[in-house]
Amino acid sequence: MTIVCGVEEAGRGPVIGPLVMCGITIDEKETSKLEAIGVKDSKLLTPFQREDLFEKIKNIAKKYEIIIIPSQEIDDILNSEDMNLNWLEAKTSADIINKLNPDKAILDCPSTNIKAYSDYVKNLLTKKVELIAEHKADLNYPVVGAASILAKVTRDREIEKIKKQIKINFGSGYPSDPKTIEFLEKNWNIHPTIFRRTWSSYKRYSEAKKQKRLGEF
């Protein structure tokens, strides 16, 4: 029996809310069970379909691990000299693999340099694991697609929690969303903890404010 693990993230790009990473394990011979319930890359599914699959995937998986990295933690990590978003994702992937202890792990690689990314993850693993890192792995491997669904549903739920907390609907949280940008422009200094302050879309407003203050002297 070969236990395979799929690892994927949701929320790399948003200026609001957490990055969520998920890993699930399954007997490699049973991956057809994921296909049978309609698992595919989460981006190809509606929110209703993802919610419907969430518990079904957890029931099929041998084990799963979900890690939520809040905005402030992302900023703290990215402000250190030796880290970037890819290395943060690689380190978290390794943490998930170490926890789930599979024979084989498949990662959706965010880096253009797949070998460097794979080597970075391998160096953080506590035991020898067959590692496959590919672009579009969530599209090509049901086990990675399943991880992407758990990650996406979890992130969507976290975003809804933030909206309820501040009582404002700010859209998706992505800089490409006009609703999010309008909210950011008016609220960047009112609800600072929900934003990723290292993002250029946030700095556009915070640094403009600094410049204005300097101009007053």
DSSP string, 4-29: EEEEEEE-SS-SBS-EEEEEEEEEGG
CATH 1.10.10.460 location in the chain? 167-215
* pLDDT tens digit sequence for 104-160: 999 999 999 999 999 999 999 999 999 999 999 999 999 999 999 999 999 999 999
CATH 3.30.420.10 location in the chain? 3-164
Residue 209 has pLDDT above 70, yes or no: no
Residue 1 has pLDDT above 70, yes or no: yes
Residue 48 has pLDDT above 90, yes or no: yes
> Measured between alpha carbons, how far is 12 from 43 in angstroms, rounded to an integer?
14
| CATH classification number, 3-164, choose in 3.30.1780.10, 3.40.50.10190, 3.30.420.10, 3.10.110.10 | 3.30.420.10
* pLDDT tens digit sequence for 72-114: 999 999 998 888 999 999 999 999 999 999 999 999 999 999 9
The hierarchical CATH code for the domain 167-215 is 1.10.10.460
